[in-house]
Each structure stands twice: as C-alpha cells, then as structure tokens.
Structure 1
C-alpha cells in the first residue's frame, strides 16, 4: 500500500522545494495510483501516493492529527497496514480520550505515538514504514516494521534529509539533497556474494535503508539517531516429551495463525491469495476462505515440464473451495519483462523467482486489490532443507581447530564433484564461517575472475558477524534462522514480494510475519522444527485438518524457474550474449570472463546459471540506473498531483 516521500531541510526552505518533491513523487505512481498529495511547512515537505484499501473515502495523506486543542500538531505519511488498529483505537479512546476523525488505521499510528511515544511501534501489529513530524518540537520520527515487510530508504546531503518508499524517488530528488551517487564497491561485492544488497546498504553510496525493526529521530540539519526496538530471541527451550505437551504447541500455532489471517483479511476491498503447491500459501488460503467464501487464488508456472506447480495448486484450490486463476509464463515474455522488473526493484535482486511473482501479481490485480501470501514461514518454523546441515555435520563438532584445518586441506585435494569433498569442506568450517543465508552466489575464486577490484577482506562476515554475535549459546538451527531473518528474508524474500506486487499496484500481506505468530514460533525447541525426515515439523502438525493432505507433507518447491536450461538454449542464451556485449560495466566486471562463463554453461562444462543471472541482472540494473542506456517501458499512471 502506498508510497511516501519527504525532505527535511536544514535551512527552512521546504516551501521552495515542495513542487520538485511532487515531481519526484511521480516515479512511484505504481505504489499509489488512486490519489496523490503533498504538504509542507517551513522545515519539511511530504508527498504521498495512495493505494486506497481501508477507509477509502477518507484517511487521505499526508494526514494531520493532534490532541484536543491542537488538532493539527502532527503530520503523517504511512505506507502499510496496521491490522490491530480497531483494538488500538478503542484503547486509546478509552484510556486517553483520543478523538478520531476517520475510520482508517493512519490516525491510530499518530495517536499511539502521541500518547505512548516511540514504544508505540511495539504495539503495532502490521507492516509499516512511516514518518511523523511534530510541528511543536520540530522533530521527525521514522519507523519500520519488525521484519522489514515495507521498505524505507533515506539519504543525507547538504540539501537535507530525504526519505522514501523507493530509492528511485530519492534519485529523482538527488539534486535537491546534494547526495553522493557513486556506486558503492563494497555493496557491489556483497551483492555478488549474496545475490541481493544487504541492509542497510544500497548500491549508491549516498542512499541507505532504515533497517527492519528500527526507529529513528531526525532534526533539521541533523543525522538520524537510530534505535533497534525489535530484537528477536530464539531461547533455548527444553524439549518436553508427551502427546499433551506436543499438542499444546500445535494448538498454539494454529490459533495464532488463524487469528493473524483473520486480522490480515481486514479491508474495504476484495482480498485474494497467492497459492503455490506448498504448505505455506495453502495454509493461508485455507484459513482465508473461512472469512471470504468467494476467495480467489492465483498461481503461476512455466512452459517447461518440472517447473510448474500449477496442477498441485489447482488441486489445492479445488480442495478448499476457492476460485482459481493461473498465469503461465513463456521464455520470450520472461526476457522482455526483465528491464521493467529491474527498474521496479531499485537495486538488483538476482532471484529468478521474482519474475513469476511479477506476472502472477499482474494477473491478480485484474481481480483484486490485496493478496495474502506465505512468506516468512520457513524462517520462523524451520522450513529450509539447509537447516538440517547441523545434523549431518554433528560429528565435526568435536574437532579441534587444527583438525578442522587438516580436513580443509584434505578437501582441497579431492577433485570437484567427487563424493565427500563438500562434506569435508563444510565440516572444516564453523557455523559462522559457512552459513550466511540461503543465497550463495559467488565464492572467492569466481569473484577474482570477474570482479576488477576484488577485495578479499570484504566478505559475508561483514554482514553476518554482528548478527551471530547476538545469538551466542543458541542451538545451531536457531542461529541460522536468526541470520536469515536479517539477511535472506528482508534482503530477498520481502524485497521481491513488495516490489513485484506494488509494481502492479497490488498490496501483498504476509500473515506468518506477525508478532503473535512469531511469539509462538520462537519458543519451539529444535526437535519441533525439523527432523531427518521433514522440515517445519510442528507447523505441519498444527495444520492437520486445515491443509489438504496432498500438500501437508509435500516437499518445498515454490515458484521454480528454468533459468539453468534457458541460459543454455534459444530462450535466453542470445539475449544474455547481447547484455554482456552491450554492458557498460567493464570498469567493474571482467566481461571477457563473464562471456567465458556463459559459453561454459551453454556447453555443459559447468553450471554457472546462478552466477550468470547475478551478473546479468547487475548489468541490466547498471544499464538503467547508471548508463541510462536501457529504458524500460513503464506504463504511466496519470492522475493529478496536488501541490
């Protein structure tokens, strides 16, 4: 829902820059095509694009609210939804006498902030990125939801402090802000390793992101004073045996998830649901249809056998009684959409799964304005197969550092592809060294070959070491989940979820990423998360009778993409050659080495598909945002911008 933009000026000239801010706002029209507006005083200019979901006739933004006697003390811009806003409104009115003039959730945020201060963010159950300006104290308060569902970019320059829902809006306002737009080489290297740019970095030096679970104060001419309010814990929980104890946990999970879905269904527009062949989206859809018997579900697949869950999703939709819509994507349609998709992303994300997500979102927007989805279940309940790694590597735990080094030397002597090499390599490393999230694109040997200015001191440990430091003493699976919450989830999963749906003016809601669901999930002991036979053990048990049997114990697949095959064949090979030949990234990448990788992949010498996709996505991004060589065909939503 929506896109916000603001500039806090150091020299009280907000009125002068307000018209230019309105122009910069226009590049986010896809986030809010229903209406737009701006507001300013001497210090601050605010802009907003609205996708109307709740209280459609009112709750216009920027929104003014204040207590009795000063009804316009605060100005708010807010992107997201607060699902417990009705309960909070009632409490604020009862305990504090708060008066509300709309039926939406936006006023609830401002009133909660007025009466409870920064601690209000811990009471909000939802997804959010917002800014509240106090016209009396001349202070700006900004905040982002615990998991990072909604984005928040900011930039500091001589022209002031700028913030927005998309980086491109700050690029449009770069001349006003006077910020450094050089490419950040460290962020670039992190991107190549992880396949996304980790928070708080972006690929532009002068633009950063407010991290998930953080708030900050900003004053005119000052820098943000950032505080982390969300500090997830996966406490060491003793495993209590017995059917009654186990069933109690399963019942708690089911109850929390059912309540979350019920609150996520709150809207004044039609809510649909994405549906793959897996347990997560099926659970959400099965619970959602209890609140909307006319639920429409959506899925996508590809024109290649083995790369589609269309049939399984259709069977699930029939089992729960939902109307089902399918979008099948062909390779030509896939390739043609890539520049447009990268433009919407702001920074490159080399996850091919975002492309089918874009197409299914476009199809869904023809029918509904809001969809539910299953993101977050894997991170909360232990759903990734790699979380079993500590079980397979348990014999290595007793090795001394010297013995680990010996195992590493032995693995080096084993030829690539030989059985045992990978096990020795992984076993020779500590958890902190070997695990840096689900995405593992480039390792040092490949980086040296393709990156002109390779810095071996810039590693994934830059990103993960501070996260691991917070989880000393936890079980290894909990530590891996914790890392994924702050890397893979917010860097890849939620970025593509937000960007690909908002590109189509569609709001996506994620009921698994709810504070009450997390409160249940974080207390699960190791043995309730995964076994040698299955992942998400407790969640699967909790969903007995909710999720159809053909899905309940099915292996995870998601929206698979045949990128490995297409890069070898007529679908994407020639297109990829063209991208490499025309790219202006030769000062960053060794394009000759990249071309060689493509040929090795085409002939089957090596599978370079993941690395090639990471590089080519970067080239397309650079062609759009740096070279201005690639010009995506973005549909222009026309509406008046109120200045």
Structure 2
C-alpha cells in the first residue's frame, strides 16, 4: 500500500520534471512513510512512497524487472496488494520460466504483463492502481482494480500526462504539465446532489480519474487510450430444489478463502468491527488465521444506547481483543479541515470522520486492517433494495394512472403519510433511484446553487449505467448502479483516504473476484425478503457470525449530526463556515443560513444537505481560496508493527 506519482512528457525531456515530481511526492507522504524513491528516463518520471507490507526488506519501488534476455526492461510503480501473487509467481515460473528476485507481489504484476499483455489485469486478485513503463516500446500501461478500491487520478496537458494516487499531487504539477485549475461546474452540481463526485469526474476540469475496472495505454505526446476490462454483471442462477444449503456453503467457502488470502502479510493484521454482520463475519473468519486478532470500533455515546456496545459484545464472543475509540463533537469539528485535505475532493458522508479516528487508533497497534465494505452491494444489503417489493402494485398501473398518482402526491402536504409512496410509485426505477445517496431535489438545488443547470442531472451519471442492466430484476439493477456510483464514489473513497491518512492499509475481502462470482448468481428472493436483506449471506454465515448479530440491521459508524447541528456542538461552527466561505459566486449563502436556522428550530431536518454544503465550503477554503491551512503532521510510526 503506497502512493505513486508519474509524469510522461510530451517533448522527450524530463530535466525539470524529476525535481518537480520528487517535491510533489510530499503530498503523498502519509500513504507511504517507510520509503521514498524516484526513477526516470528521457520520457518518464516515477515517484513512489512505500508502506511496507509484504517482503519488507526487498520489493523496493520504483521496481525494475525484465526477462532473462532483457533485464530491467520494465519499470513499475504499484499501489495495492495482489492476494494471489504466490499462485501467479508459481504459474509464471512453470509456464514461462519467469525468474523473480524478490519475495513480493510487485514482480508478479510485471511478469504477468510481459507474458500475458493486457489480459494480465484479469488474472490479478487484489486491489491495485499501477503503472508499467516499457523501455523498449516506449509505452506506458496503467490500470486500476475491478471495483475501484485504489484510486488513480489522470490529467493530460500540452506538456504531457501526469497520474497519481492523489489529486493534490497532480495539482502541484499543474504548471509543469500545463493544466488548468478551473473548477468543473457540472461536477459541483453532481456532488451537491449525490454527496460525492462521481467517476470519472473530479471538481477540477482538467483532472479525471481512471475508472474502476479500466486500463489505459499511453505514448509520449499522445492522449491516453482507455479501455474497460471488467463490468460487474449479475448473471442470476435460480436455486434448484434442494440446492439451497449447497449454495449457502459455496458463499461461505468463497468468503473464507478470500479472508485467508487477505490475511497474507509480513506485518500485523487487525480488523474493523462495527457490530453489524459484514464486519463481524470478516473478523470471525480472520480469527481462524490469527487467534490474537485485534478489532477496532468507534462511536458516539448517546442516551440509552451506544453502538460500540454491540461491537464489544461481538468481539468478546469471537474471542478478539477489542479497542474502542469514542469521538466527541469538539474533536469531530476540529478534525474536519485535515480530513477534507486528505479527501482531495469533498465527500459529504459524516461517517468518514469516525472512520478517520478509528484508523488513527488502529495504526497504533497494526499496519493492516480488514473491513466489510462491499457486502451490501454484492449481496443486497441496503434497506432501499426492498423498495421494489413495496412498489409492485404500481407496476400494474397504466402510464396514465401513474401520472395521476404523481399529481395526487403533489397535492398532499409535505410530511403527510402516503405522499412519498405515491410519488415514488409513480416513477420508473431509473427516475427514482439515484443510488444510495441523494441530498437535494431540483427545487432545493435551485435555491442554493447560483449556476443551477436543469440539464445537468443525476441521469448524466446513472443513465449509461442503467442502460447496461436493461431486463434485469430491479434489485440487481440497483446493486449494479451502486457498484458504479455509491460504492466507488463514497464507500471506497472514504475507506482508502481515511485509512491512508493514517498510513494504515485497509483490505476488503468481500470485494474479491471469487466472492463476486458466487454473489452475482444469487436470485432476487435470496437477497431481499419482506423481513430482511442479504438473506442468502445471512444463511451462509450461520455458525460463523454470533447469533445476536446474524439478523441485526446494518450499523456502520453512525454520527449524531442532526442533533449536533442544532446545538452548541456544531451550530456555531456551521455559522462560522458560512460567514467565512468565499463561495458567494457559487452558493446562495443566505439560503443556506436560512436552512441552518430552520434546522435548529426543528422546522425541517436539513442535516445531510447542510453537511454537503459545509464540507464543500471547507474544501473550497483549502483548495481554492487557500484560506484554510490544515495542520498535517509528518507521519512517524512504530517500526515493529
């Protein structure tokens, strides 16, 4: 797990670029505090910060490798982990006579690319963003893992192409590359609606992300040629009579194998534990490989209930040593500028703040953690996935009756029972389901955005994705949409950014090709029932997960944001952000102040919308105004982990 940065020139000279890349690597220091290195030739500069996990004494990067007759032909920078690297190395040695000089996973990537070409990415079981430079053909190959676990930003200007693990490092090189630093107004609108910036956009016009499941070929002086190698497809296979138990066993076996491979490391591996079924399953399976496993959770004490108690009970039942970090409102507010700096682009998910703190606590004890991200998207875990069941009666209505239902909904006052059901039932799935986050409707958006464009909608993002799933059942279509939107735009961004902010590697065993291979075949009735979600997964984990967790609703790391924005915890902080922010040309600050006052008075719950706008204001203060300068500590950690 590391931070990479590269610059491919357009004019065949790297004289000035070496020093510039080396300096910009400091923006990535937190991603790899163990080692720093650069490599260059006439066309390309690689920079690398390493977090040593496997083959600590060797596997230095940028890494050189080549076949016996062309040693050092390739140069590699690689962020991530390849969990089947041992199997790949053995196969490459046996089939092609490949020779390796380290014990790590990096050489397996380059050797696979040499012998298998582009198809090598389809053989990699892991999380990755990497770049391979062929010194013979003078071509660059970059790739990103199937689900988008690891980030890779990309920008091309008149002087070349720059790519890296974090956008802030590309901004450092903008003058060298000839990049504009203008903001993208459409991306701002998408962020405001969705609470994250959807791939491949960023808030800067000239900088984009290489999408999940994609690779690109680059040559000096030419734009990248991007191709997609993986599209998650739900190929449903109904359960035959008497087959259910075998299918549940298949799910359990795939997950157990994934966890076993995700435990491969030469450092200590721990596990996050929220108390829900996903993280508890991962921790319970990890205990089979490390009986001294340490689990970590975070939360906020609230009257009458604390989610940390559920996680502690789970840890006790599986036999793990458990550590709890409780976050207070002052600590929460003070951390926001630093957290937003690490994010690169704003993400308006308040759960990333406790995630940041639990990662900071975990890094005192371990260097790698496992977590349960991806289970909901693969196995049907979000409550919203049950909506098609409740809306089935509307499917039998004619288009005219649906339009009548919409008109009736418009006449029902806000907050009255039945209004939302009629409204959503009158719409098609493509119209009503944006993914797991929707912060503003059009009327609310028009009230706060100075440059509201009705032609820029969520369907810019969702329509191409829905087109791929035509004819699938509605839940599979929702899962497919979330894999391309909410998962890689919110869930995986906050997981990567908040853990790497603390030089901690996070691994996600659910997001494994072999686990997806069993999940994609699960039929609708084995995912969603009238009583529960993730039905097949729950059955598969019976006997692995403690009974008190098996049928518990999803917990995560909930934040009492609604309450804090009403009281002294965050109200004054929010007022100050609105007053100080120099975003008047983008946002109607008077309208936002009115939202804050209405929220405090209990007129409406504006907490998520306010948080979306406040996070953007902090981001703008850091990356545009230079008004906010977060205090970023130089990462120093124990070497014995």
Alignment pair present for 1:117 and 2:117: yes
Gaps of 5+ in 1: none
SS at match of 2:180: coil
Verify the 8 A CA contact 2:527 2:536 in the aligned structure 1.
Answer: yes
Alignment pair present for 1:90 and 2:100: no
TM-score (norm 2): 0.98
2:352 counterpart residue number = 354
Verify the 8 A CA contact 1:14 1:45 in the aligned structure 2.
Answer: yes
1:216 counterpart residue number = 216
Cα shift at 1:15: 3.4
Cα shift at 1:308: 3.5
Cα shift at 1:555: 1.2
Cα shift at 1:307: 6.8
- The Cα offsets for residues 580-602 of structure 1, whole Å up to 9 and x where unpaired, read as 00000000000000000000000
Alignment pair present for 1:438 and 2:440: no
Within a 5 Å distance, the mapping from 1:36-75 to structure 2 comes to 36-75=36-75
Gaps of 5+ in 2: none
Verify the 8 A CA contact 2:502 2:635 in the aligned structure 1.
Answer: no
Alignment pair present for 1:132 and 2:132: yes
Verify the 8 A CA contact 1:15 1:41 in the aligned structure 2.
Answer: no
1:78 counterpart residue number = 78
Cα shift at 1:436: 1.2
Within a 5 Å distance, the mapping from 1:362-373 to structure 2 comes to 362-373=360-371
SS at match of 1:45: strand
* CA distance in structure 1 between the partners assigned to 2:564 and 2:240 by the alignment: 49
- The Cα offsets for residues 472-504 of structure 1, whole Å up to 9 and x where unpaired, read as 111000000000000000000000000000000
SS at match of 1:215: strand
Within a 5 Å distance, the mapping from 1:445-460 to structure 2 comes to 445-460=443-458
Within a 5 Å distance, the mapping from 1:47-446 to structure 2 comes to 47-242=47-242, 245-305=243-303, 308-446=306-444
Verify the 8 A CA contact 1:236 1:475 in the aligned structure 2.
Answer: no
Within a 5 Å distance, the mapping from 1:548-559 to structure 2 comes to 548-559=546-557
Verify the 8 A CA contact 1:155 1:207 in the aligned structure 2.
Answer: yes
Cα shift at 1:541: 0.3
TM-score (norm 1): 0.98
Cα shift at 1:29: 0.1
Verify the 8 A CA contact 1:15 1:45 in the aligned structure 2.
Answer: no
* CA distance in structure 1 between the partners assigned to 2:236 and 2:362 by the alignment: 42
RMSD (CA atoms): 1.0
Verify the 8 A CA contact 2:271 2:369 in the aligned structure 1.
Answer: yes
1:35 counterpart residue number = 35
* CA distance in structure 2 between the partners assigned to 1:566 and 1:369 by the alignment: 33
* CA distance in structure 1 between the partners assigned to 2:302 and 2:443 by the alignment: 33
Q: 1:173 to 1:638 in 2, by over 3 A?
A: farther
* CA distance in structure 2 between the partners assigned to 1:401 and 1:7 by the alignment: 54
2:25 counterpart residue number = 25
Verify the 8 A CA contact 2:238 2:521 in the aligned structure 1.
Answer: no
Equivalent residue pairs, number: 637
SS at match of 1:14: coil
Verify the 8 A CA contact 1:76 1:131 in the aligned structure 2.
Answer: yes
- The Cα offsets for residues 392-451 of structure 1, whole Å up to 9 and x where unpaired, read as 000111222222211111100000011110001001110001001110101101101000
SS at match of 2:36: strand
Alignment pair present for 1:532 and 2:530: yes
Alignment pair present for 1:587 and 2:585: yes
Verify the 8 A CA contact 1:301 1:307 in the aligned structure 2.
Answer: no
* CA distance in structure 1 between the partners assigned to 2:303 and 2:30 by the alignment: 34
Verify the 8 A CA contact 1:196 1:492 in the aligned structure 2.
Answer: yes
Q: 1:49 to 1:600 in 2, by over 3 A?
A: same
- The Cα offsets for residues 18-45 of structure 1, whole Å up to 9 and x where unpaired, read as 0110000111100000010000000000
* CA distance in structure 2 between the partners assigned to 1:369 and 1:175 by the alignment: 36
* CA distance in structure 2 between the partners assigned to 1:481 and 1:206 by the alignment: 30
SS at match of 1:482: helix
Cα shift at 1:69: 1.4
Q: 1:306 to 1:258 in 2, by over 3 A?
A: farther
Verify the 8 A CA contact 2:503 2:635 in the aligned structure 1.
Answer: no
- The Cα offsets for residues 40-98 of structure 1, whole Å up to 9 and x where unpaired, read as 00000000000000000000000000011111100000000000000000000000000
* CA distance in structure 1 between the partners assigned to 2:418 and 2:534 by the alignment: 28
Verify the 8 A CA contact 1:307 1:561 in the aligned structure 2.
Answer: no
Verify the 8 A CA contact 2:4 2:165 in the aligned structure 1.
Answer: yes
* CA distance in structure 1 between the partners assigned to 2:361 and 2:555 by the alignment: 21
Cα shift at 1:177: 1.0
* CA distance in structure 2 between the partners assigned to 1:99 and 1:393 by the alignment: 59
SS at match of 2:48: strand
